[in-house]
Amino acid sequence: MSTNHAERSKPQWQALGVALTFAATLGGLAYLPIREATSGLKASVSALGSRVVTRDEMEWRTAQAAEDRARTDAGVKELRDAQVPREELDRILLYLGERIDRIERQRLSAAQ
């Protein structure tokens, strides 16, 4: 009986080899899609990295926009200050029209 027991307690190398091969094959099949997805993810992250706006650049853009707004506001204020109100412009044009009419009448009366 002791020989029978010794035979049974020996490791089954063939079964262990088959199980190890099966486990390695399954592990490899599971690892390949994960590796492909990881490489795709790395490519996506690097593509995003090239499009990211850094904090320094964002602060620079904000300062540039504020400067542009200030320059635009100053230009608009200058234009508004240089404008003549419509009523005043109408009065000046009416006065000039009357003056031209008087000069024409004087010239016509002097020519007769």
* Rounded-to-integer distance, Cα 44 and Cα 46, Å: 5
With a pLDDT cut of 90, the percent of the chain lying above it is: 37
pLDDT in tens, 12-51: 778 888 889 999 998 888 888 888 888 888 888 887 777 7
Phi, psi of 54 (to 5 degrees): -75, 165
pLDDT of residue 70: 96
Pull the structure tokens for residue 39. Answer: 């490489």
pLDDT of residue 1: 58
Which H or E run contains 62?
helix 55-82
- Whether 52 has a pLDDT exceeding 90, the answer reads no
pLDDT in tens, 58-102: 999 999 999 999 999 999 999 988 888 888 889 999 999 999 999
